[in-house]
Amino acid sequence: MAADLPLYKADSNAGLKRPRHNKRLIITFALLGVGFIFYLNAHLTASQHGKDQDTTTSGVTSDDYRPLEPSYPDYKPDNNALDPALVEVDTKADSNQHEAAVQKDPFSPSTHSNSHNVMKQPFDDATDNNVVINTSKHYSQLVVVTSEASSLERRRLIRDKYFGLRDNLLPCMVYNADVYYKFLIHGGPPAADTPLRRQYEAEKMEWNDLVELSTSSYEVVDVLEWAETSLADQGITYDYMILQDINTFLQLDAIKQELDSGVISDSLDSPFIINTDAPTNLVWSNFRGDTTDKDALVVGARAVKLALEHRKEIEAASTIKGESILTGMYKYYQSYTDDVMNDDDDDQDPAGQQQQEAEQEAVDRGQLIPEFVREDGPEGTHRFIRWENNVESVHPEDIVVTQVYQPLEFTELALWTRLNPVSVCHRAPSSSSAATSVASPDNEDVVGLLNEEHEIAEQLQRQNEGQSNTKDPLPASSIAVVTSSFIYDACMEPSATRAAMNKRDYALKHGYSFVARSAEFAQEAARGQRKTVWGKIDVVEKVLPKYEWIFWLDMDAVVMDQDRDLKDLLDQVKQLYPQGPDAFDDQVDFVVSRPLRDPMINAGVFMMRNTPWSMQFLRDVQNTESWYRRGPSYEQGAMWDIMRLPENKDKVFLLDRDDHTFNTFPKFYQPGDFVVHFAPDKCPNDATVKGLNAADKILNGGSVTKLDFE
């Protein structure tokens, strides 16, 4: 056999041993290589995931953005429905399933926040551990933005990007941080009886941050005079005014940081250190002598006073028509300084006396002559730049960008510069159980301070009224006064804003939130299904989850008794409830009246508690299609029908044939009535104006009868 040949045996032994050894080495290296590749792949994947997570979540855990997982036990998708939320449910077809669901949990609507996974709310303060509630009316910075009335969209962006104010559902009722802001409107309001005028009036009602100047154009001196007169009359003071026109973008957070630190341009080679002896005697701006000097500037409170005190001399020395008063001030004091230095050179006094007087004059000059931080010119830092149509041309040190006309460009600049909003108020978090359950430890300091502030105010009020200092189980911050700011046509245009201020003043006096909304009414036109008045139900659905109780008032309802507390009103209503106060607390969520001569409720004034039942009630009202265009009652008729269903009766307290508890028609008014509701068949403007005049008369100590409304 070939295997017996010596040559075969020798070659066979050697050949078998060497390949076995090499094969093992090759396999070993191959396995190591494969393992190394898997290791690298896993490492790179994890690293990339970490990078992606860091850039997208900004340090917020994944639990903060868990997807909603609502439970819809009875819901079946209808792909043909235009708006599933508004489609009437066929209760007969699903009666068995509905009864089973009710037995399990009678008031668990899928739309209520309790049925969702909780999410952190971006409008709550939740990051600052060193919160200080400012009750002094003195602010480190006063931010003033000059604008024409038509610039609604830019004002919306500035509220959002500068101050984090995306909506007014949890409004800033008071500025209790260290920054105060206002928009100063020049050129007058929009023309009457126009869509723009109605939007402008709605903005005034909703935000209360517009101040109308009597001037036709923007001048810096008019703003300074406003700060020293109107603002000062309100007891408001400040260290620095940050002034810009509406088409300017500021890195407001950076400007604030530099002013607070006392060092301007700290990151540059030649920082400017603010004089600690007279820190507010400062002007930081361009001084070219043209209109661009008005685009943006920073001026200290002391420098404002000096500019107005020496206004005549400054204007007399100015050689350029329309020059900013602060540019004129810069030139005025520059020439003054040069004259003083020349006089010093000519002095022939004895050396010791001359040196002493020079030192004293230097001290006086440092306190009287403002410090000027110039951004333009050869000696300027040039951090105030003009927009060059691309964000790439904006550097971190460029804290002012002027002539930014497009809203999208403003938004891109905020993203490019990573602009952080500056707080103008510390708002209490939403009263919803979802928001409360996710309150972070960082937010507890804010909530505690706010609650303490409310408790102190309420204690003082109780002491003044001779009441007990027992803590109130229903904080004022958990109540909202809610109304419409939507003006249908020219009818209510003259009185709508004044009527809203009547309600805002009432809410502010008692520590409640005031929420006026127009967008929900305006969106009814886009729906094309219902009358505009149905926006009321959308508003209540939007606002209610954020409070424990809301008090709805139609636009033409006027608060006559500003001293009447809603908590006292609730106590009165509880005493009227047939089953007693305890039963009211346990089961009543909706309080509404039916006037003496009306066939159904009047939903122009009502109270509603934030509960699952209330949210389901509103959903059922929304689904009542038969009332969408059925006048004259519309949403009121739907509420009347739904509240009388057997399963809802225990949740409703109907003040039947009641004209005085909280909803009084003018012809039935008696002294002491809380709210008068003007609801005539024709335009209610004239009647509402009479009511507002009567309310002012009562506020000033006068007396009113129903004859004042005729």
- For residues 380-407, average pLDDT: 96
- For residues 282-290, average pLDDT: 95
| pLDDT over 90 (residue 326) | yes
- 469-483 per-position pLDDT tens digit: 555 578 999 999 999
- Cα 359 to Cα 138, 364, 480: the distances in Å are 34, 9, 60
- 163-188 per-position pLDDT tens digit: 999 999 999 999 999 999 999 999 99
Task: Locate the domains of the chain by residue range.
Answer: 138-344+361-416, 476-709
Top mean-pLDDT range of 17-31, 99-113, 310-324, 341-355: 310-324
Per-residue model confidence (pLDDT) at position 342:
53
Q: What is the largest CA-CA distance in the chain?
A: 137
The CATH homologous superfamily for domain 476-709 is Spore Coat Polysaccharide Biosynthesis Protein SpsA; Chain A (3.90.550.10)
Contacts 24+ apart (CB under 8 A), 562-569: 562/505, 562/506, 562/509, 562/695, 562/698, 562/699, 564/674, 565/510, 566/479, 566/481, 566/510, 566/512, 566/607, 567/472, 567/474, 567/476, 567/479, 569/607, 569/661, 569/662, 569/674
For 401, the enclosing helix (H) or strand (E) is strand 400-402
- For residues 121-135, average pLDDT: 60
| pLDDT over 50 (residue 367) | yes
- 422-442 per-position pLDDT tens digit: 999 998 778 764 443 333 334
- For residues 578-601, average pLDDT: 96
Neighbour tally for 420: CB within 10 Å: 16
- For residues 572-596, average pLDDT: 97
Per-residue model confidence (pLDDT) at position 427:
84
Per-residue model confidence (pLDDT) at position 108:
44
Per-residue model confidence (pLDDT) at position 343:
53
- 51-108 per-position pLDDT tens digit: 444 433 333 333 333 333 333 333 333 433 333 333 343 444 444 444 444 344 444 4
Q: Tell me which of 103-117, 348-362, 691-705 is least confident.
A: 103-117
**Whole-prediction pTM:** 0.77
- Look at residues 501, 507, 505 and name the one whose alpha carbon lies nearest to residue 481: 507
Extended strands (E) in 563-632: 590-594, 602-609
Per-residue model confidence (pLDDT) at position 111:
47
Q: Tell me which of 199-213, 233-247, 356-370 is least confident.
A: 356-370
| Interatomic CA distance for residues 602 and 592, integer angstroms | 7
- For residues 39-56, average pLDDT: 48
Per-residue model confidence (pLDDT) at position 98:
42
- Contact yes or no for 403/294 (Cβ under 8 A): no
Per-residue model confidence (pLDDT) at position 347:
52
Average pLDDT, the chain: 82
| pLDDT over 90 (residue 340) | no
Domain pair 138-344+361-416 / 476-709, same fold: yes
| pLDDT over 50 (residue 566) | yes
Q: Tell me which of 6-20, 43-57, 342-356 is least confident.
A: 6-20
Between residues 445 and 418, the one the model is more confident about? 418
Q: Tell me which of 33-42, 149-158, 316-325, 347-356 is least confident.
A: 347-356
Grouping H, G, I as helix, E, B as strand and the rest as coil, residue 89 is coil
| pLDDT over 90 (residue 384) | yes
CATH ID of 138-344+361-416, from 1.10.287, 3.40.1130, 3.40.1440, 3.90.550: 3.90.550
| pLDDT over 50 (residue 116) | no
- 568-578 per-position pLDDT tens digit: 999 999 999 99
